[in-house]
Amino acid sequence: MEEVLIIDFGGQYNQLIARRVRDLHVYCEVVPYKKVDKYLEKKEPKGIIFTGGPNSVYVEDAPKIDKKIYDLGVPILGLCYGMQRMALDLGGRVERSKSREFGKTTTRFDRSCPLFEGVEDSITWMSHQDLVTDLPQGFEKVSSTDATENTAIANKEKNLYGVQFHPEVNHTEKGQDILKNFLYKICKLEGSWTMEKYAKTAIQAIRDQVGQGKVLLALSGGVDSSVCAKLLEKAIGDQLTCIFVDHGLMRKNEGDQVEAAFKDSKLHFIRVNAEDRFLKKLDGVTDPEKKRKIIGEEFIRVFEEEGRKIGSVDYLAQGTIYPDVIESGSGDAAVIKSHHNVGGLPEVVDFKGLVEPLRQLFKDEVRELGQELGLADYLVWRQPFPGPGLGIRVMGEITKEKLDILRDADAIYREEIAKAGLDKSINQYFAVLTNNRTVGVMGDYRTYDYTLALRAVKTTDFMTADWAKIPYEVLEKASSRIVGEVDHINRIVYDITSKPPATIEWE
């Protein structure tokens, strides 16, 4: 398999670089600079990218790399710090300039250089203070700006390239073309990474790992665990048991939809209807953190109890995905992605190991794989839903009555968003049942009922988010339908705070 090594020097865009490379259908792995030797013992990448990193190659403990990497005969592209690292390592000079070059910059390219073939002069994104002032032997300048003489350098004979800007960010207009040139023209890759191919290799890898063993998976109905289940089912069929803990805090009909998606498959599907247990534990609890803790702990207890009933289990499967692996900073240590955000693994039984078949995939690749495997659209395109479910969307005390009110209202809201064609452009949208009651009038009667809040956000990383500017007509329709169709709601408000300062969820 064609593979590119991305050496992580600690830059802020490392995941983004990997995403861009994958978008060009090339498999890549992000490896921390300290672990490159270990990686190279096992693998032979067809290309190497150095990421950006700290301010300067001269800061104390600036990340370094064994210089033998330049003699491997593998093409290298250094980005920002990566270019400075390369220049310094190979005998060039890197100096601190008086001012920092930051932001969008018009950049000129030498189109006779394979890296810039067909790339028009255009805007790039700069963020640096150090400059490469003297080029190492064998290098030439292949790009410049008004402020920076050597914006890109190349040693075509040795296939070593460096750019001072960040081709991976959207602000660099021709960034993807430049990366494409590197991968396709310089590394001579074909771009053969597809989910169809991945599914085949992953299925074989699961069979090799598991043999005749029994595998247990906690299925939440979220994208990752659902795709994981489908993939495992194709690989090992009835050796797989999935436990779906229905905590009674799911959205309208959601539990049944998850069951419907899996009940006819070869795998053993166990749905545990644990609503009563959860509601009993949550009785009278109003503090958000306490609610989360109770729900998380109870989930583990239920999962453990069911697991023990199955008897011997050899492997525990998890839907860990690549961003979790990169964020752990380790690249190879086992990342424990806890079910429903509870620390640690459930102590079901002694098991031999973990099966994590999505460890190398980004979220959109997981969705693509899900489609490839024929998973229901509903599960593939499901928006994120917190582990504690509606437990953190019912403010104050949680009761079955309040949950049912919220379920009905939320279903109408989601239906109207979908009808308006906004469901794919808004990243998360849901209703929240506040603990506030106000006076209203219905027909000739006075009402004293709940206020419902509608929330919708646009975000890519869910760490920051903008409130979505939904057309008034859509809000109006959702509002009048909810008040008309759901008892005990007489007022609707729309949440117009972004994150920060608010969070996406209300609790």
Q: Active-site positions?
A: 80, 166, 168
What residues form DSSP beta bridges with 299?
A: none
Query: ω into residue 114 within 30 of 0, thus cis?
Result: no
The reply on whether position 499 binds ligand XMP by CB under 6 A is yes
Residue pair 505/385 in contact by the 8 Å Cβ criterion? no
Q: Are 45 and 212 in contact (CB under 8 A)?
A: no
Q: Is 503 in the site for ligand XMP (CB under 6 A)?
A: yes
CB of 386 vs ligand XMP, minimal distance in Å? 3
DSSP letters for 354-382:
EE-TTTT--HHHHHHHHHHTT--HHHHTP
| 433 DSSP β-pair partners | 394, 452
**Binding flags for ligand XMP, 404-433, as an x/- string (CB under 6 A):** ------------------------x-----
For residue 362, give the nearest of 353, 370, 354, 373 by alpha carbon. Answer: 370
CB nearer to ligand XMP: give 85 or 339. Answer: 339
Q: Which residues contact 20 (CB under 8 A, 6 or more apart)?
A: 167, 168, 175, 176, 179
| Closer to ligand XMP by Cβ: residue 58 or 462 | 462
- Residue from 462, 469, 472, 473 touching ligand XMP (CB under 6 A): that is 462
SS3 state of residue 153 = strand
Binding region for ligand XMP (CB under 6 A) out of 2-10, 237-245, 379-387, 441-449 = 379-387
Between the CA atoms of 265, 266, 267 and 268, what dihedral angle is there, to the nearest 10 degrees? 90
Q: What is the distance of C-alpha 1 from the center of its chain? A: 24
**Min separation Cβ 295 and ligand XMP, Å:** 8
Which H helix or E strand runs over 300?
helix 288-310
Does residue 319 touch ligand XMP according to CB under 6 A?
Answer: no
Residue 8 CB, shortest distance to ligand XMP, in Å, is 25
Task: Select 307 or 388, whichever has its Cβ closest to ligand XMP.
Answer: 388
Query: For residues 43 and 54, what is the distance between their CA atoms, to the nearest angstrom?
Result: 27
Least Å distance between CB 504 and ligand XMP? 3
Q: Does 504 bind ligand XMP (CB under 6 A)?
A: yes
Q: How far apart are CA 150 and CA 142, in angstroms?
A: 7
Is the CB of 92 or the CB of 222 nearer to ligand XMP?
A: 222
Q: How far is the CB of 259 from ligand XMP (least distance, A)?
A: 20
- Residue 458 binds ligand XMP (CB under 6 A): no
| Residues with Cβ within 8 Å of residue 276, at least 6 apart in sequence | 248
Q: Which is nearer to ligand XMP, 206 or 468 (CB)?
A: 468
Structure tokens at 325: 């692996």
Q: Is 451 in the site for ligand XMP (CB under 6 A)?
A: no
Minimum gap (Å) between residue 119 Cβ and ligand XMP = 37
**Residue 466, interface with ligand XMP (CB under 6 A)?**
no
Report the residue from 341, 371, 425, 480 that binds ligand XMP according to the rule CB under 6 A: 341
| Look-up of token digits 């011997």 | 312
Residues 383-402 that bind ligand XMP (CB under 6 A): 384, 386-388
User: Is residue 505 part of the contact set for ligand XMP (CB under 6 A)?
Assistant: yes
The residues of the shown chain that bind ligand XMP, judged by CB under 6 A, are 292, 341, 384, 386-388, 428, 462, 499, 503-505
